[in-house]
Amino acid sequence: MKAILPGATVGIIGGGQLGRMFCMAARRMGYRTVVWTGGLEAPAAALADEVVDGPFDSSDARDAFVGVAEVATVEFENIPRSTLVGVAERIPLHPSADAVATCQHREREKRFLEKEGIPCAEFRVVDSAAALAAAIGDLGTPAVLKTAAFGYDGKGQRKLEGGEDPEAVWREFDADRAVLEAFVPFERELSVMVVRGADGSTVSYDPAENRHRHHILDVSIVPARVGPEVASKARGLAASVAEALDYRGILGVEFFQLEGGRLLVNEIAPRPHNSGHHTLDACATSQFEQQLRAVCGLGLGSSRLLSPVVMLNLLGDMWRGETAAPDWAAAFADRSSYLHLYGKERAPGRRKMGHLNVLGGDAEECLERAERLKQAWLEAAG
Ligand code: AMP
């Protein structure tokens, strides 16, 4: 297969910040980009050469997109499968519609992991109050109920502590299908970015250790504070997931790490991932450049970690009154911190507005600096 070389136009389905950072990587390497926004607000549009601003179920929008793009990729997974299949009938799409469809639906994702023998939390599929009652009977509590489709950042999730009435829980949960997962008493959460190229070779990154705030990623600490065995097991599992999906592109695999080092896969993201943003400043090749290389059939880049780093997510609650940004002077006074903003005008709730990569001599020291900046900004925002 011939590589798609600089000068060509690469299409991105989805116009969020992941698409925006992909466009920057593509531009830097001399590619053109077209972003299909799905009709949603699109931080990527400002960086794209062309924009198709129509919904994902519009055949006119699809025709406009495939008329410009020579190859396509995705920047989020909640795109209807039929849209992906429609694109793939006209131009190459990486990752495939099948791979994205597996990752966009928790039931399919879990069944895939089970079939491939990749360890994950015990689960039951639930489609009624009676099924929920039976699942609670099987798995016990605590347990976590998760919608099968369209869940992210803890949305569409409810933890069951025991003693709840399954009828009431199911009624309030308001989903057709869900997955009940045994609660995992994890020691830490890890993730691995892995890229798989046109020739089936894979390159994985050092695992990130992820901490959440209100169910949203807060900081990623790299290297994760785990031993070499756990790190290499996580990288190996991530590569196995990519191979089992016959994947081409960049993939994020999230893990629960239990006491003793055992790893369970939590989620798979068929795209760049928030916990891979440190690669922009702290790795030889960013996750976005790797996505471009894989999608265009180029050789993959080195994933070498150049420096310990902590990625701090900049969420909307650091903004005052939704529009007043934090005082960045403190970040700029720190000579080894690198600010990335996504160009979003308003910061409602805990919207992802940007991130800060804090580089340093070791991860602990980076974490201290990142936490200090975060606390000051949160306090100033009230
Ligand atoms: P998810 O959207 O599935 O990634 O879940 C969001 C967060 O909820 C995870 O990062 C964990 O912190 C927590 N969580 C999800 N599932 C479980 C589980 N089965 N056991 C313990 N914590 C969980």
pLDDT in tens, the chain (382 residues): 789 999 999 999 999 999 999 999 999 999 999 999 999 999 999 999 999 999 999 999 999 999 999 999 999 999 999 999 999 999 999 999 999 999 999 999 999 999 999 999 999 999 999 999 999 999 999 999 999 987 666 678 999 999 999 999 999 998 999 999 999 999 999 999 999 999 999 999 999 999 999 999 999 999 999 999 999 999 999 999 999 999 999 999 999 999 999 999 999 999 999 999 999 999 999 999 999 999 999 999 999 999 999 999 999 999 999 999 999 999 999 999 999 999 999 999 999 999 999 999 999 999 999 999 999 999 999 8
Structure tokens at 212: 């959440």
Q: Decide yes or no: CATH 3.30.470.20 for domain 188-381.
A: yes
Cβ-based burial of 3 (10 A; exposed 0-12, middle 13-18, buried ≥19): exposed
Model confidence pTM above 0.95: yes
Query: Is residue 32 within 8 Å of residue 71, measured between CB atoms?
Result: no
Q: Decide yes or no: CATH 3.40.50.20 for domain 9-93.
A: yes
Task: Report the 10 Å Cβ neighbour count for 51.
Answer: 19
Query: Domain residue spans in the chain?
Result: 9-93, 122-182, 188-381
Residue ID of nearest Cα to ligand 1 atom 18? 183
State which of 103, 122, 141, 144 you would mutate to test the pocket of ligand 1, scoring each by most atoms of that ligand within 8 A of its C-beta: 144
Task: State the amino acid at position 1 in one-letter form.
Answer: M
d(CA 22, CA 33): 9
Q: Which CATH number fits domain 122-182: 2.40.170.20, 3.40.109.10, 3.30.1490.20, 1.20.1530.20?
A: 3.30.1490.20
Residue ID of nearest Cα to ligand 1 atom 16? 144
70: three-class secondary structure by DSSP? coil
Domains 122-182 and 188-381 share a fold: no
SS3 annotation, 199-248: CCCEEECCCEEEEEECCEEEEEEECCCCCHHHHHHHHHHHHHHHHHCCCC
d(CA 222, CA 206): 7
Query: From the alpha carbon of 210, which atom of ligand 1 is closest?
Result: 10
Instruction: Give distance in angstroms: CA of 153 to centre of ligand 1.
Output: 9
Query: From the alpha carbon of 254, which atom of ligand 1 is closest?
Result: 4
Query: What are the contacts of 1-5 at 24+ separation with CB within 8 A?
Result: 1/198, 1/297, 2/297, 3/198, 3/296, 3/297, 3/298, 4/70, 4/71, 4/295, 4/296, 4/297, 5/296
Cβ(314) – ligand 1 distance below 6 Å: no
Classify each residue of 221-234 as buried b or exposed e, where b means 16 or more C-beta atoms within 10 Å of its C-beta: bbbbebeeebbebb
